Chains A and B, each alone.
Chain A
Amino acid sequence: MKFANSPLLSQRLPSWRSRLLLLCILAGFAVLAGWSIYLQGFNSAFLQEKGAQRYSRVIELPATRGRILDRNGQVLAVSTPVKSIWAIPEDAKLQPAQVNQLAKLLEMEPREVDRKLADSHDFVYLKRQIPPDVAARILALDLPGIHDQTEYRRYYPTGDVTAHILGFTGAGDVGLEGVELAYQSVLAGKSGSRRVIKDRRGDVVEDVDSIRPPRDGKDVVLALDDRIQYLAYANLRRAVIDNKAKAGSIVVLDARTGEVLALANMPTYNPNNRTRLTGAQLRNRALTDTFEPGSTMKPFTIALALDKGKFRFDSRIQTAPGWFTIGTATIHDSEPHGILTVAQVIQKSSNIGAAKIALTLPPEEMWHNFERLGFGHPLNLGFPGEVGGRVRPYQHWRPIEQATMAYGNGISVTLMQLAHAYLVFARNGDLIPLSLTKLDSPPLFGKQIFTEQTAHEVRAMLEMVEEPGGTAPKARVAGYLVAGKTGTAHKVEGGIYVNRYVASYVGFAPATDPRLVIAVMINEPSAGSYYGGDVAAPVFAKVMAGSLRDLGVAPDEPPQSLQALGQNAPAVKEGT
């Protein structure tokens, strides 16, 4: 039978049945439409977020802190990832044998591991900052509840040799001292992040939007020369120990560029292991401690007097009978010298000679001279705790004060300021600023302080100091002409001069064309001699000899005088 002939077709159904069906279908569509409006209109943000969470992740991109390099590219400080081992004690149900294995790798006592695991329920560090290969071996044991975490740690391969100049970083790789603090904004990196799609196995499949690239910290190239730094540190250390001194500092400057080639202090510390640090070890004394420099200040006042035309190189000054009264106070030379030329006042370090020269100068000019040489205000190298020393305003100077300031009493300076000021004699009377970082184009000329002629005359006087009959024959360096000045100052405690001393020596070489300025300060030498010429000058000589050899500077001393080295000539005691 054909479908068209079916009798069912001719049978009429009640019309409400088809309408009811239509209505049901329409209602079903309405519900679907309503639901989709609800999901996509009102709830979409929440749902999209939930969806994204199932496949996309934000990955933190760590940035590394910049390195610190010396001028020859030697690495002085570098950050490298290390692992910290932590545990969830609740999960870490270990057999005694496993604990022993773990403790051995961590270099800890098994009992200590057990104690740490008993400390807390959910999280405990077993050991922080261990080498990555050790961590890998620990994880290879596959112990339950033991995990690792990557952290960055700063290493200083040169250790205590460069401790004060580099400083160190604290938690989170933030600089706390020294160059690490001074150049924090350059060295610090900025971590970035990226949003990615990960597949079922956890591999990254695709980058989604919003990539913030990490910015690694920049490297800092210091002016420091690590060989000269080592020479300076090793010889300072030896001198401080041999002289049973309380402390000491040394600074080496490049006379041509003003770069700081070395800076060391004693006592020091190892920046890689900073447990049990004392404040005394931390002090960057060359920059933060001021002292009364004593006779090392004499050349500045004498240079001023020469510059003003008050005296000549060979003007004669009566220093007999070895004492000199100004008002109610009397000053002394350590031994009477009689009539001295200006040059001999420097050579024999006569206080009376320096005082008499100073009293011919107006206080204002003397004060202005100190200011221009950089005394009285900080050098602003960016180090924490840098100080400027003290030069009192000239309006209140009494004559005795003016006289004593000429030989470095009643004025306080840092060793770095003193070394900096000596650049005027090592150069042609001009002063250039100091630099901690390596300079690509060092300044050729600085601020002119003294005339070129004056600078050369004072340089010749400073050369006489190292000759027999001067205060520092021990500062001589075989093969080179050396110029410099000793200082031996009483320490001031509670406003009174006491019988403890600061021995210092500032000098430069080769005198015919100076390359290096070295300043040495030894605080409270107490193993016999306390004179700058005996205590500080030998340190200068050793460091200068080694550094000039390292730099390959040609000797400038005439060969015939090589045999006549005055090492054993009696040194003249300087005024203290």
Chain B
Amino acid sequence: MANKSQQQAYQQLAKKHIPKPDYLGNSLRAFLVGGAISALGQGVTNFYLSTGMAESEAGAYTAITMIFLGALLTGLGIYDNLAKIGGAGSALPITGFANTIVSAAMDFKSEGYVLGMAAQMYKIAGPVITYGVTSAILAGLVKWLLWG
């Protein structure tokens, strides 16, 4: 087996052959796709506000609408193609969160509705929920300690 220094020397050699991702282009595309999704979300909020809804209520309805759209586009096989272009721009908005759950649910349906779909649908989203809740508790704790 190759020793550590041989392995390191090889990693150096290999690095020269590995194409660099197009960071600038990727960032620009992520900005455009993420921005478009966010603008759509804003449009939806404005629509709900125009119906006379309170701001907090409109926010909740917007989240529900955007999650529905993300789930629908995932089911139709469109969201992953959008993500190919958008990268983080399509992963970060709430539509991306819907995509992680729906795509996993679709994938694991073949292993049954209980141990497959239901058990595995949070495979990708699980960490987001776990660490989201954990950091919310921590932030709440800090706020309570500092300001009561």
Partners in one complex: no
Task: Report A's interface with B, CB cutoff 8 A.
Answer: none
